[in-house]
Amino acid sequence: MPTTIKAAVLGALKQPLTIETLQLDDPRPDEVLIEIRAAGICHSDQHYIDGSIQRPLPSVLGHEAAGIVLKAGAAVKSLAPGDHVVPVFCPECRECANCISGKTNVCLRFGAHNAETRLSHQGRPVHRSSLGTFATHTVLPERAVTKVRNDAAFDAVFYCGCGVTTGVGGRCF
Indicate which residues carry an active-site annotation.
42, 44, 47, 63, 162
Distances (CA, A) of 47 to 36, 55, 59, 151: 22, 10, 13, 33
Phi, psi (rounded to 5 degrees) for 25: -60, 150
- SS3 readout for 26-72: CCCCCEEEEEEEEEECCHHHHHHHHCCCCCCCCEECCCEEEEEEEEE
Phi, psi (rounded to 5 degrees) for 133: -90, 0
Q: Are 157 and 146 in contact (CB under 8 A)?
A: no
CA distance 141 to 99: 17
Classified as helix, coil or strand, 103 is coil
CA distance 128 to 115: 7
Phi, psi (rounded to 5 degrees) for 17: -70, 150
